[in-house]
Amino acid sequence: MGIALDGLVSGLNTTELINALMDVQAIPRNLMSAKADDKKLIISQLQTLNTSLQDLAAKAKTAASGESLNTFSATSSSNNVTVALRPGAAALTADIVVDRLAQKHTVVTAASAEWPDAPPTLTLENAAGERLEITASSSSMTDVARAINSAGFGISASVVAAGTDVDGNPVQRLQLISAESGADSAFRVFRGDEAAVAAGTAADVATAPGAAVVTTGSDAQVRLWAGTAAEQVITSSKNTFTDLFAGVDVTVTAASADPVTVGVAVDDKARTTAAADFVKQIASLLTRIDNGSKATVGTGDDATTLGVFTGDSTVRALRQSLAQAVQHPIDGVSPSSIGISIDRYGVLTIDETKFAAALADDPDAVTAMFTGVAERVQQTAETYSDKYDGLLTARITGQQSEVDSLGRQLESWDVRLEQRRATLERTYARLETMLSQMQSQSAYLTSQLSSLPSYDTGSN
C-alpha cells in the first residue's frame, strides 16, 4: 500500500505526480499487454478455423468413400410394413407376405384371495428348460408378484383385481408376461420346488381351473417370393427383420395374406443435396478466411484495421490448397463440368441443376469426379488440422508459446513497476521530511534573529 503524502509540506499533489510518472514507466508494459491480447484474439480465431477444418476433414472422408452420393429412398405399398435403410443398401423391389407377428408369452393365473400355498414356493422354467426356484415372503398376491419380478428371469408379474368370491372377499389374479417376444420367450410357472417339478408332481399354474395361456410366445414370420418354387420363410423374434436384404430393415405391424411390395431406389435429389451441402461447407470456410484476411483502410483520422488472418502465410497457404483441391481437373476433366466452380473473385459455388443433370446422365462419372475432389479436400484438411502435426495446429502452438512468453515478461514488468512505485514514494517522503526540517530550521533562525538587540548607529 503506497503512502499518501500529497504535499504535507511542499504543497505538491504527490499521489498524482507519482501516478503520472508511473504511467510513463508502464508504457512498454502496456504495449506488451496489448500485443498479448492481439495474439490471444488471433489464437481464438485460428482455433475456430481449425475446428471447422477438422469437421470438413471428417465430412470429406465420408464423401471420398462414396457414401454421400450413395443415397437411397425406401417405399412400401402398405402402412403396416415400413422399411429402414442402413449403409450397404442397394436398389431393389420385392414382395413380402406377412404371415404373423411376434408375440410375447402371456399367462393369467386363477383368481384367488391369496396364493394357495404357504410358504409360496414357485419354480420358473424358460423355453430352454432352465429353471429357477423362488419363494415369496408371504402368500399375498402382491408379494408373489414381487418375488417373480425380482428373480430376473425375464418374466414380468402384475396383480389384477378379479372381483370377489362367493363370500364377498376380494380376489386377484397374476398376469405373467415375458420380457421379450418370440418363440424363445415361452415359459412355465409351477407351484412347488425344483424337486417337485423334476418329479412331475408340481402343478403348472396355467392349467389350473380359471387360468389360461393368453398368448403363446411366437416369432414373426414373413415369406419372400410366396407361391413360387423359390418361396423363402423368414422368422424373427421381433417384428423387425434386420437385414432382410443387405442394408434393409423391415418392420411389420399387422399380418396380411396379400403381398406387400417394398422398394429401394436411388434418391437423386438427396444425392444432389448432399453434394451441394459439402461444397457449401468448403465455400463457407473459404469465405471465412477471406473475411479474416481483409484490411480496412481508414479515412481521415481513422487508422487502417487489419484482419486477424492478414499476413498469415499459413492461413493463406491453406486457402490456396483448398481452392486447388476443388478446382483442379480429375483425370483431365474439370469439376466445373458437373457444376462445381470458383469464379474470378475466388468464390466457390455449385450449380445444383447442372450437377443433377450430370448425375442423371452419367452417375458413375459424376461419382468418380466428386469422390476425387473430396479425397483431395480430405488430404488438405488433414494436413493442416491434424491434432499432432497439422500445419495450422503448429501455427496455433507457436502463437500460444509467444503468449506464454509475453505473460512471463508481463509478470516481471509488474514486479519492476511495483518496485519503482515504492522507490518514488520513498523519495518524495524523504523530500517532504527534508523540507519540513528546513522549514523548522528557517523558523528557528528567524526567531533567533528577531530576538537580537538593535543598536542605533546614528550620531548624537
Task: State the first-to-last Cα distance of the chain, in angstroms, to the nearest integer.
Answer: 69
Within 10 Å of residue 128's Cβ, how many Cβ atoms? 9
Burial (CB count <10 Å: 0-12, 13-18, 19+), residue 65: middle
What's the pLDDT tens digit per position in 180-224? 999 999 999 999 999 999 999 999 999 999 999 999 999 999 999
For the residues 48-59, what does the mean pLDDT come to?
Answer: 93
Judged against a pLDDT cut of 60, whether residue 7 lies above it is answered with: no
Give the pTM.
0.61
pLDDT at residue 84, as a whole number: 94
Question: Domain segments of the chain: what residues?
Answer: 1-71+267-441, 72-101+219-266, 106-215
Q: Directed axis angle between helix 391-451 and helix 27-64, to 10°?
A: 170
The long-range contacts involving 191-200, CB below 8 angstroms and separated by at least 24 positions, are: 191/116, 191/117, 191/121, 191/122, 192/117, 192/121, 192/122, 192/123, 193/121, 193/123, 193/133, 194/123, 194/131, 194/133, 196/123, 197/123, 197/125, 197/131
List of residues 6+ apart from 342 with CB closer than 8 A: 323, 326, 327, 348, 349
pLDDT at residue 5, as a whole number: 52
pLDDT at residue 311, as a whole number: 83
What's the pLDDT tens digit per position in 399-433? 889 889 998 999 999 999 999 988 888 888 888 78
Please tell me what DSSP assigns to residue 111. P
CB 92, CB 261: distance < 8 Å: no
pLDDT at residue 299, as a whole number: 62
pLDDT at residue 297, as a whole number: 63
Judged against a pLDDT cut of 50, whether residue 63 lies above it is answered with: yes
